[in-house]
Amino acid sequence: MLTDIGVNLSSSRYRKDRRNVLQNALEAGVGKLILTGTSLSESKATLDICDFFANDFPEMLYATVGIHPHNAEQFNHGTSDALYNLSAHPSVVAIGETGLDFFRNIASPKAQQISFEAHLELATKTGLPMFLHEREAESLQLEILKEHRNYFKDAVVHCFTGNRDTLLKYLELGLYIGITGWVCDQKRGSELRNIVSDIPIDRLMIETDAPYLLPQNMIFKPKNKRNEPSFLPWVAKEIAACRIECVEEIIEQTSINAKKFFNI
């Protein structure tokens, strides 16, 4: 069974049919989902979803808690305590989504750095791994990670879309790499397809980042263009086309990696 390490299931785009989305995932062979926390409110929402569906979909739903860099201006003195309290929930398996995003700079670089470093301290305190975001901020993000690397347990760079040099530097730090449907985009994903084979198989994980990044290699795409966890096999298929392993090996090993990383 596949493990989707990044799903924004609290998105309003799933409000009317979350149960169907989960059932579709199971039928497609996606047995475990890590729901992404991107703010205090969204982190709480993901935990509510985990609790709500716990009986009907046992051992399927897990969550991260954190503040996305776009929301870093929301971070204040009480945020770390609030996230720490949320991290005690039995469904929480990682701290994040956190990191730096200088592509849009929706939050100021200073606010992003303060929030990111606080998340690193929280990961050290809780012993949980980190769920990282980074876009066009690799230099500073790598510098900060190097300073803290001896203290936090582990980290995955979620939705990696960088170049080979950045990839190798993350791998040198012993981090895992999450690959999304970006790799299925013939235009935007061309560089990623060229370097995805550089990721050691025991450091690779896959994700949809649903409802975003609909795999463009799908034969029949939904009219609403909404991505779902059930479409994760298309990501695995594209990755396999770029590597020496077959798709069955990609599915098996990425799930083993995810279960080990998130301790699920």
User: Could you state, in order of their start, the residue ranges of all structural domains in the chain?
Assistant: 2-262
Closest Cα to residue 205, out of 213, 196, 214?
196
pLDDT in tens, the chain (264 residues): 999 999 999 999 999 999 999 999 999 999 999 999 999 999 999 999 999 999 999 999 999 999 999 999 999 889 999 999 999 999 999 999 999 999 988 999 999 999 999 999 999 999 999 999 999 999 999 999 999 999 999 999 999 999 999 999 999 999 999 999 999 999 999 999 999 999 999 999 999 999 999 999 999 999 999 999 999 999 999 999 999 999 999 999 999 999 999 999
Helix (H, G, I), strand (E, B) or coil at 123: helix
Q: How far is CA 191 from CA 39, 95, 112, in A?
A: 31, 29, 27
Helix (H, G, I), strand (E, B) or coil at 87: coil
**Global pTM value:** 0.97
Alpha helices by DSSP H, listed for the chain, are 18-27, 40-52, 79-86, 109-126, 138-148, 164-172, 190-195, 232-241, 247-262
What the block records as the tokens of 238 is 């594209």
Helix (H, G, I), strand (E, B) or coil at 91: coil
CATH class of 2-262: alpha beta
